[in-house]
Amino acid sequence: MPRLQTNLAATASAHAAAYDECRRIARSHYENFPVGSLLIPKRLRPHFFALYAFMRTADDFADLPERTSDERLRLLAEWRKNLGQAFIGEISSHPIFLALQNSIRSFSLSPEPFEFLLDAFEFDARGKVRFETYEDLHWYTRRSAEPVGQLILALFGYCDEERIRLSNDICTALQLVNFLQDAKADLTAGRCYFPREDMTLFELANIEELLKSASTAKLVLYECDRIERMLDESAQLPELVTGRLRYELRAVLIGARMMLQKIRALGGDTIRERPSLGRKERRMMLIKALV
């Protein structure tokens, strides 16, 4: 019995250290952490940290500028292998996977959202970010954004199709907002998140024209309308959940609409100026979510 207690204590200590490392990774990238993270129940925060650390590290692998595409893909292949081992119960010495494995077991998480995320990171690592149609772009956001919402819902105990569908729309909308915010940086780096079919509507043919033409602002406003429709269609999700998650989702939706307002106030010209929410606006967003 003492040996069993010792083993249990050692396991608990190892898990605590692993979650601490995941928290350190999350806090070092705080600007990307869930908007209303203070609204996340304390009991769930370690699991959020584990999910975030898994995603953040894989995202970093995909974007390593000093590595070739093949080298980035090899790092992600190793990450995928570690994920597979976590799901079959092989104990990892890597703190992220040690924590993640415990979270997977605690909440019966499905491997599909994690696999989809890695598909998106591998797409990024190849460095050919172009989309012919909105459906092609949605193929990407279905893997890069929607799994995040699915995993968060799972931590709160929601796995039904209706809530997942609404969450998917919100997550894709949020990522599309982010693409508009970062349009100049992405285009300068050779990444184009504007579908070619949309560009054609405004007689824009390539990245060079997107960076120089006044028509790009009109294209951005066109995309804002699509995003707003998605937010409108998924706006009831906060009222379909309870507790702190309701306020977290309200904050996310309010923040997205505030950002759309900022983009529109710029006339859609996010090439000239990157819009962002200041500390005061973020505070107001949380207050509105609570009220």
SS (H, E, C) 149-161: HHHHHHHCCCCCH
SS3 breakdown of the chain: % helix, strand, coil, rounded to 5?
75, 0, 25
**Burial of 206 (C-beta count, 10 Å sphere; 0-12/13-18/19+):** exposed
Q: What is the mean pLDDT of the chain?
A: 91
**pLDDT class for 215, splitting at 50, 70, 90?**
very high
pLDDT above 60 for 33: no
pLDDT above 80 for 108: yes
**pLDDT class for 287, splitting at 50, 70, 90?**
confident
- Residue (of 153, 162, 181) closest to 258 by Cα position: 181
Tens digits of per-residue pLDDT, 59-102? 999 988 788 999 999 999 999 999 999 999 887 789 999 999 99
Give the domains, in start order, of the chain with CATH numbers: 1-126 (1.10.600.10), 129-291 (1.10.600.10)
Tens digits of per-residue pLDDT, 139-191? 999 999 999 999 999 999 999 999 999 999 999 999 999 999 999 999 999 99
pLDDT above 80 for 221: yes
Distances (CA, A) of 203 to 160, 200, 219: 42, 5, 10
- Residue (of 157, 223, 78, 200) closest to 70 by Cα position: 78
Handedness of CA 124, 126, 131, 134 (dihedral sign): negative
**Token couple for 87:** 């799901």
C-beta separation of 45 from 152 below 8 A: no
Distance CA 32, CA 20 (A): 18
pLDDT above 90 for 256: yes
Q: Which helix (H) or strand (E) holds 1?
A: none
The separation between CA 48 and the C-alpha centre of its own chain, rounded to angstroms, equals 12
C-beta separation of 251 from 35 below 8 A: yes
pLDDT above 80 for 220: yes
Instruction: In the chain, count H helices and then E strands.
Output: 14, 0
pTM to 2 decimal places: 0.89
The separation between CA 269 and the C-alpha centre of its own chain, rounded to angstroms, equals 24
Length of the chain: 291
pLDDT of residue 40: 80
**pLDDT class for 201, splitting at 50, 70, 90?**
very high
C-beta separation of 192 from 216 below 8 A: no
Q: What is the mean pLDDT of residues 263-286?
A: 90
pLDDT of residue 34: 46
